[in-house]
Amino acid sequence: MSNSFLSTYTLPNGIELKNRLIMAPMTNFSSHSDGTVTEEEVNYYARRSNGVSMVITACAYVTPNGKGFHGEFGADKDEMIPSLEKLATRIKEQGAKAVLQIFHGGRMCPPELVPNGELVSASDIPAENGGVSTEEPDKKPRALTEAEVEDIIQAFGEATRRAIEAGFDGVEIHGANGYLIQQFFSPHSNRREDRFGGSLEKRMTFPLEVVDTVKKVVQEHAKEPFIVGYRFSPEEPETPGITMDETLALVDALSNKGLDYLHVSLFDFFSTPRRGVEDLTKTRISYLQETINDRVPLIGVGSIYTAEDARKAFETGVPLLALGRELIIDPDWVQKVTDGKEDEIVTEINKDKQEELVIPDPLWNAIINTPGWFPGV
């Protein structure tokens, strides 16, 4: 039984990962209301950072009007650097690379978390799934001006500089899950007629300029190799919405950007496309791998609970795999595989072990009160 995923992997920038398993970014709702990290949150990360080779944190907002969650930590001003440093230090002490996910919530932000309760997006189109703008017509987002869009692109760069100063090993640009970067790429939320919208190519302008700005900041400020990754969602259910073929066009463009990895956001690793490609029985991962064609590493993810699940996923040729809920359920997942005790991996949340699992109250309450999100609830 080969566990090739325990072998090392070298990213394009030369940084070596000690294995091919990564902690996926997951919101934990547990920061202070001023955007600084709590001790509970730092302990939660530390508890999960010694088996995996890299930890991608929950998202950090890059501007005050991009705060998308209660208890989200911030990277929007220099005062946040000591808070971010605390997090980076504890993750790295356990032997993992620390990567800060940077983000803007756009129209999905709760109004009470953003200045004047004003939601912004690519256009003034309310969300169809989730978010306040879905339920309350008077909460529809305001379209950002071109100058504001450019400011937000710069803000992603500034957040990257803060991550460098805080000692992180990298950043992941959050272009997935319906947030602002995806809102610019999506024909549902982007009805603009300036350089940031219109054709498929123009809808890629914002995501690609964020990438360019982040990479430029890394060149200017990082003294040693610094990881830059990009996360994306393959499709949207809305009509119009992002289709698989549009995502493949974006992924093709991103693959030429000199990134260190691309990270797909999937609930199920083996899921198949909804529309936009000829063969709907072929997995999204296969389509992505073909398009990328070895230009940049792809991180796969999605309901990988056991070591056997991981082996099957790696058989598809993806070089890296992210574990999300699995590491919340069993923080020792990777060590158990390493020690030949994979049959001891816990695959359902144990409702009596919050303290032992080092899960902060806000995250614990979300898990226990959201049936179907975690096995065992």
Per-residue pLDDT reduced to its tens digit, 176-186:
999 999 999 99
Q: What is the pLDDT of residue 294?
A: 97
Q: What is the pLDDT of residue 133?
A: 81
Per-residue pLDDT tens over the stretch 10-61: 999 999 999 999 999 999 999 999 999 999 999 999 999 999 999 999 999 9
| Whether the bond into 240 is cis, omega within 30 of 0 | yes
Q: How far is CA 119 from the centre of its chain?
A: 21
How does residue 136 score in pLDDT terms, banded at 50, 70 and 90? Answer: confident
> What's the mean pLDDT in 231-239?
96
Q: Which CATH number fits domain 4-368: 3.40.605.10, 1.10.10.10, 3.40.80.10, 3.20.20.70?
A: 3.20.20.70
In the chain, where the domains are located: 4-368
Q: DSSP letters of 32-55?
A: -TTSPPPHHHHHHHHHTSSSSSEE
> What's the mean pLDDT in 70-84?
98
Choosing from 9, 45, 61, 179, the catalytic residue is 179
Q: What is the pTM assigned to this prediction?
A: 0.98
Side-chain-side CA neighbours of 243 within 13 Å: the count stands at: 10
One-letter amino acid for residue 369 of the chain: N
Strand partners, 172: 101, 229
Side-chain-side CA neighbours of 68 within 13 Å: the count stands at: 27
45 classed as catalytic:
no
Supply the angle between the helices 244-254 and 284-292 in degrees, to the nearest 10.
30
> What's the mean pLDDT in 276-294?
98
d(CA 78, CA 353): 37
One-letter amino acid for residue 87 of the chain: L
Q: What is the pLDDT of residue 53?
A: 98
Q: What is the pLDDT of residue 1?
A: 55
Q: What is the pLDDT of residue 134?
A: 80
Widest CA span in the chain: 57
> What's the mean pLDDT in 108-118?
97
Tokens describing residue 259: 């990134």
Give yes or no for residue 137 having a pLDDT over 80: no
Give yes or no for residue 212 having a pLDDT over 60: yes
Q: What is the pLDDT of residue 131?
A: 85
> What's the mean pLDDT in 121-130?
94
Percent of the chain with pLDDT over 90: 96
Residue for token pair 């090392």: 8
